Homo-oligomer: A and B are copies of this chain.
Amino acid sequence: MATRPTPGKKSQETLKASPTGQKTQPRKVPSRRSKAEPDGQRTSASWTQDPEGVRRDILATARAEFVENGLSGARVDKIAAQTSTSKRMIYYYFGDKEGLYRAVLEEAYAGIRKLEKNLDLGALKPTEALAALTGFTFDYHADNPDFVRLVMVENIHHARHLATSSKIGALNSSAIDMIREIYGRGLEDGVFRPGINPIDIHLTISALSFYNVSNQASIQQVFGHDMAAPKARLRRRHSVIDTVTQMVSV
């Protein structure tokens, strides 16, 4: 099942960003919907081209839809209706529904990676550095439920879109490198106990941060506990940092 229809004839390869190498100058776009006149004639539908803007418009709208309804539940027609452009353009720029989803996913991963790169924990002592990294990770997940939900969706689909995305593979191990570095310093300082695998540290931090968002709804239903409430979130943040700290300390 789920075969690719492969319509044939023309294959759009148009994934170029801006045709002009210029910086994205946000041109002011008049509503590009042409409206029909009362007499049935249509107004000389005048519109300004804005490929990059259209692309971004589609991407943002699509993200909301995929986040809310998953890949199978998302409706291309609904996305089209909520953009200021038409369904045709979705297929023009992204090929098909999965191509659109893939683009959304890649953008989401790019987001967290960018922030991670800007983290500089070198000035902090190992224990504080690890606590800061944990706090940052926890906050990023809590502040970006869209990202969390996209990853959930992708895992439901066995991450097969990550697998076929050229943009994501392997570049992400920077997170683990960072932990490895902090852990190494902690060992030297004698404040961390030896024998811990950096991957385990990463998995622990990620799991505790991710779960708090991903399973918020079911926890709420089953236990009546609202992890999204500001107070609960802060308490939990503390607890997570504490847990990670205890985990590595001598």
Spell out A's residues near B (CB within 8 Å). Answer: 1, 69-73, 78, 109, 149, 151-156, 158-159, 162-163, 168-170, 172-173, 176, 196-197, 199-200, 203-204, 206-208, 210-212, 214-225, 227, 235-236, 239, 242-243, 246-247, 249
Contacts and interface: CB of A to CB of B under 8 A. Distances in A.
Contacts of A204: 208, 239, 243
Contact of A221 (B1, B78, B162, B197): B162
Contacts of A149: 156
10 contacts: A72-B72, A73-B73, A149-B156, A152-B156, A159-B218, A162-B221, A168-B221, A169-B222, A206-B211, A246-B246
The 5 tightest CB contacts between A and B, nearest first, are: A72-B73, A207-B211, A159-B217, A162-B221, A72-B72
B153 A218 contact: no
Given A149-B156, A152-B152, A247-B247, 14 more contacts: A152-B214, A155-B217, A158-B217, A159-B217, A169-B221, A199-B225, A200-B236, A200-B239, A203-B211, A203-B212, A203-B236, A210-B211, A243-B243, A243-B247
A221 B159 contact: yes
Contacts of A1: 78
Nearest to A151: B218
Contacts of A162: 217-218, 221-222
Max chain B C-beta neighbours (<10 A), residue from A172, A196, A200, A215: A215
A210 B215 CA distance: 10
Contacts of A222: 109, 162, 168-170, 172-173
